[in-house]
Amino acid sequence: MTLFVVGTPIGNLEDLSLRAARILREVEVIAAEDTRRAQQLLVHVDALAGGPRPERKLVSLFEGNEAEHTAKLVAMLEAGKRVAVISDAGMPGISDPGSRLVAAAIAIGVRVDVIPGPNAALCALVGSGLPIDRFTFLGFPPREEGARRELFGTLQGEIGALVFYEAPDRVHATLVDLGLALGADRRASLGRELTKLHEEHVRGTLGELAAQFADKAPRGECTLVVAGGTASAPVIDLDAEIGRLLADGLGPKDVAARLVVVTGKPRRVLYQLALSLQRGHRVVEPVIDRGPDE
């Protein structure tokens, strides 16, 4: 019994490896994030081999049905079927479905073979021109502003490059928030349409990139690489900073929103600290689960 995890092209079909094409011809079942896009890839695979393989079965495997269909695919593996899993582009499990199936297969003793292929994060890293001997992949940042800023605040001490996937319409907000957290002068590179005809790497500082995409979002799928820091995160005197912002007329909620991006602390914690100082007494910083914002 073997589960094949197959890397597929992220744009250019010529990047499909000979081994990946052979595996996709040989297996009896293919779990795909989008069966329609998978069918287009398989037409290319079959054309390379000179003809179709009609007995091959396609099974959808996306976020909405991953739990249910993983169980079905595991049953197929236990029945002796040869199963491959692919995503729309790149490696399954990297910001795409697939990791749940891999874990379930391993749990029942199924062999897992990974067939390497193109990866947007690595392509963007290499094309960025930034130091990349050490990097952290963070996938898609949170959509909600508070959670996104909180995450970025925790990255101030990272000395390796940072890699994000982002939707075109959210690129500007992400660049702005990264600039607030890491400094607008931090070097960065935005890779778009990687491996495709209009591939582009837009390089500059976070501030420059934010200004460039302020009025017009980039086109195509985007991967953002941000240079790592050169020193540990600055130490902030929270009492003093909160006191200064309160003196400037900000309320506790606005203080928390301002500081979350530069401290990485949960907004609820910052809110309670600001509220306590506003009332004229300091409390011990609480330990609170990351629930909804106040």
- Give the pair of three-digit tokens for residue 50: 């000179």
Q: From CA 77, how far away is CA 28, in angstroms rounded? A: 10
Q: From CA 198, how far away is CA 267, in angstroms rounded? A: 40
How long, in residues, is the chain?
A: 294
How much is the pTM?
Answer: 0.80
Q: From CA 45, how far away is CA 236, in angstroms rounded? A: 56
Name the nearest CA neighbour of 150 among 1, 41, 291, 278: 291
Q: From CA 253, how far away is CA 262, in angstroms rounded? A: 15
Question: Taking the CA of residue 32 as centre, how many other CA atoms within 13 Å lie in the half-sphere pointing to its CB?
Answer: 19
Give 8's DSSP letter.
B
- Give the pair of three-digit tokens for residue 71: 């169980």
User: For a pLDDT cut of 90, what percent of the chain falls above it?
Assistant: 72
Type of residue at 44 = H
Contact 223, 121 (CB under 8 A): yes
Task: Locate all alpha helices (DSSP H) within 79-233, ordered by sequence.
Answer: 99-107, 120-128, 145-153, 171-182, 206-212
Q: From CA 244, how far away is CA 263, in angstroms rounded? A: 16
pLDDT in tens, the chain (294 residues): 899 999 999 999 999 999 999 999 999 999 999 999 999 999 999 998 888 776 889 999 998 999 899 999 999 999 999 999 999 999 999 999 999 999 999 999 999 999 999 999 999 999 999 999 999 999 999 999 989 999 999 998 899 999 999 999 999 999 999 999 999 999 999 999 999 999 999 999 999 999 999 999 999 999 999 999 986 656 677 888 888 888 888 888 888 888 887 777 888 888 888 888 888 754 444 444 444 444
Q: How far is CA 269 from CA 133, 154, 256, 263, 283, in A?
A: 35, 14, 8, 11, 11
Antiparallel, parallel or unpaired: β 161-166 and 200-205: unpaired
Q: From CA 16, how far away is CA 27, in angstroms rounded? A: 16
Helix (H, G, I), strand (E, B) or coil at 234: coil
